[in-house]
Amino acid sequence: MATITLDTVRKVYPGKVEAVKGISLDIADGDFIVLVGPSGCGKSTLLRMIAGLETISSGSVKIGDRVVNEIDPAERDIAMVFQNYALYPHMTVYDNLSYGLRNRGMKRDEIDVRVKKAAEILEIGSLLDRKPRALSGGQRQRVAMGRAIVRSPKVFLFDEPLSNLDAKLRGQMRVEIKALQRSLGVTSVYVTHDQLEAMTLADTLVVMNGGVVEQIGAPLDVYEKPASTFVASFIGAPPMNLLPLTRSGDGCRLPDGSVLPAGSHPRGEAATLGFRPEDVVIGGPDALALDFEVVAAEPVGAESFLHGRAGGSGIVVRVQGRATALPRDRIRIGVPQDRLHLFGADGKRIEPAGAIARGHTSHAVPA
| DSSP single-letter state for residue 59 | E
Would the pTM of this model clear 0.85, i.e. be above it?
Answer: yes
Q: Looking at the structure, do residues 213 and 242 belong to the same domain, yes or no?
A: no
Domain boundary among 203, 229, 255: 229
User: What is the per-residue pLDDT across 170-219, written as a single tens digit (0 to 9) for each?
Assistant: 888 898 899 989 988 999 999 999 989 999 999 999 999 999 999 999 99
User: What is the per-residue pLDDT across 246-278, written as a single tens digit (0 to 9) for each?
Assistant: 876 656 788 888 776 544 455 556 689 999 999
Domain of 205 in residue numbering reads as: 4-229
Question: Does the N-terminal peptide bond of residue 352 adopt cis geometry, omega within 30 degrees of 0?
Answer: yes
Domain containing residue 13: CATH number: 3.40.50.300
Please state, in angstroms and rounded to a whole number, the distance separating the CA atoms of residues 56 and 185: 28
Residue 95 lies in a domain: yes
Tell me which of 152-156, 198-202, 279-283, 356-360 is least confident: 356-360
Residue 361 lies in a domain: no
Domain containing residue 337: CATH number: 2.40.50.140
User: What is the per-residue pLDDT across 32-69, written as a single tens digit (0 to 9) for each?
Assistant: 999 999 999 999 999 999 999 999 999 999 999 999 99
Q: What percent of the chain has pLDDT over 90?
A: 66
Query: pLDDT tier at 367 (50, 70, 90 boundaries)?
Result: very low
The total number of structural domains in the chain stands at 2
Q: Looking at the structure, do residues 119 and 263 belong to the same domain, yes or no?
A: no
Determine the pLDDT at residue 251: 66
Q: Looking at the structure, do residues 223 and 244 belong to the same domain, yes or no?
A: no
